Amino acid sequence: MALEKDVDCPSCGETQSFYRTAAMTLHLGEKTKWRCPECNYGYVEIDGIDTLST
């Protein structure tokens, strides 16, 4: 899995390169935590489903 990906940050209001801060395998799939380096906004993604609010 990539260590960074471009995401529209709801806090910054523009596209940022989010960095992967943690990852682990659960019974639901892989859980990955992502964080924006500009504003420190973070979200969780589990098996392709994210908690990112837009």
Q: How far apart are CA 54 and CA 29, in angstroms?
A: 23
CATH number of the domain that residue 42 is part of: 2.20.25
pLDDT beneath 70, residues of the chain: 1, 53-54
Check residue 52 and give its pLDDT: 84
Number of domains in the chain: 1
Amino acid of residue 22: A
Q: How far apart are CA 47 and CA 54, in angstroms?
A: 19
pTM metric for this prediction: 0.86
Domain that holds residue 14: 4-50
The span from the first CA to the last CA of the chain, in angstroms, equals 24
